[in-house]
Structure 1
Amino acid sequence: MFAGGCFWCMVEPFETKEGIISVLSGYTGGHVDNPTYEQVLGGYTGHVEAVEIIFDTRIWSYKALVELYWQLTDPTDSNGQMADRGSNYRPVIFVMDEEQREIAEHEKQELAESGKYKRPIVTAIEPATTFWPAENFHQQFYRKNPKRYKKIQRTRQQFLAFQRLQTRIRGWKKRS
């Protein structure tokens, strides 16, 4: 399970890959059973918007999923992602067991040491809790609302590209 801003933008990058069996939008990490979108959005439940991914382990490793996740989020922003602000949008990797925790922690450390980001990597790594599927309207949003999704996705991609460009410029300045 991964949280990284609005779950609408987290589904398509995973779901369209061969070997990904299912990507479900939902809520996890909170203290209320069966939360609604309005409750989570209002910050009343402690949940984050997240995606639950079921994948074919013959095609995907958990490590590869984590590597893809890093490409989709800003791991330096603990209070949301891009225009999605608030604790319900914070970036979290929810791990199912000790092996996933070790992989996520290792990949997080690798990212921190890579020099890609000027600010610290703040993505949380937490034990998985009950995952509550979101309302049907939110499932596969990119397919149901392609124009709206493309606009949201374009803005997100532009932000992440800008962030990567800043990293390259910082690297270039250090070498000069």
Structure 2
Amino acid sequence: MMRWIAMTLTLTAAVTMLPACAESTSGNETEAAAAANDDTSEAAASDDLATAVFAGGCFWCVEQAFDEVRGVVETISGYTGGDVEDPSYEQVTYEDTGHLEAVQVRYDPSIVTYQTLLESFWHNVDPTDDRGQFCDKGHSYLSAIFVADDEQRRLAEASRQALKDDADAPSPIVTPIREARTFYAAEDYHQNYYEKKPVRYNFYKNACGRTDRLEELWGDAAGKP
């Protein structure tokens, strides 16, 4: 289902109520986004960088969370986990593609570890929700950790078990650990959305209850590595 905000509000002309990702973009915005993506892609071309993939509901929010982690060089919103090649947002939202909204994180392992990225992931999701994330419900908004090799799996499973063993952590932990699949970048207008449309983004994030729920789940650790 599409990402709907479950309330009726009167908004100013600067902020219109709409399904969060179902927004078109102008040609100039698309070109600017493409140029920005080219710049970050070039920066992330080094063989010294590593890649991690996480799904945590709205990829706009997950992208912002990881961009704030020191050592993260690039984040890309996209789709993974399903069988449809090069899907569109509309396909992932409305059709049975098997894909989740996800974020590919390119990072410098000499600055930040995969373990730290896992901690940041947990503190930015509701791992107890098996229907979606926050106000966004449906298969494409499920949380998941996609592991690319045995070491990532070992670390991911250890971090999940540590939460299960922690009496103070949220429970039950239902977020799965899955084998990495082909990752497809989302449309340009989704990339760095929180920077390009901050007013709309912050309205959506707050109205969806993401910040409040994270604080309820994680306390002072909410949203942090």
Compute the TM-score of the two structures, normalised by the length of structure 1. Answer: 0.89
CA distance in 2, matches of 1:104, 1:21: 21
Residue 57 of structure 2 is aligned to residue 2 of structure 1: no
Q: Given the alignment, which residue of 178, 182, 185 partners 1:133?
A: 185
Paired AA for residue 177 in structure 2? I
- Matched residues, number: 165
CA distance in 1, matches of 2:179, 2:66: 21
Partner of 2:154: 102
Partner of 2:145: 93
CA distance in 2, matches of 1:72, 1:12: 10
Q: Given the alignment, which residue of 201, 208, 216 partners 1:162?
A: 216
Partner of 1:123: 175
CA distance in 1, matches of 2:161, 2:103: 23
Residue by residue over 1:103-133, the C-alpha shift from the partner in whole angstroms, topping out at 9 and shown as x without a partner, is 0000000011112345310101001000000
Farther off after superposition, 113-122 or 15-24:
113-122
In structure 1, stretches of 5+ residues that fail to align are: 166-176
Which runs of at least 4 in structure 1 moved beyond 4 Å after TM superposition? none
CA contact (8 A) 2:62 2:124 kept: yes
CA contact (8 A) 2:54 2:145 kept: yes
In structure 2, stretches of 5+ residues that fail to align are: 1-52, 220-225
CA contact (8 A) 1:32 1:45 kept: yes
Identity %: 44
Larger radius of gyration: 2
Q: Given the alignment, which residue of 66, 70, 73 partners 1:18?
A: 70
CA contact (8 A) 2:99 2:140 kept: yes
Partner of 1:30: 82
Question: Alignment RMSD, CA only?
Answer: 1.3
Compute the TM-score of the two structures, normalised by the length of structure 2. Answer: 0.71
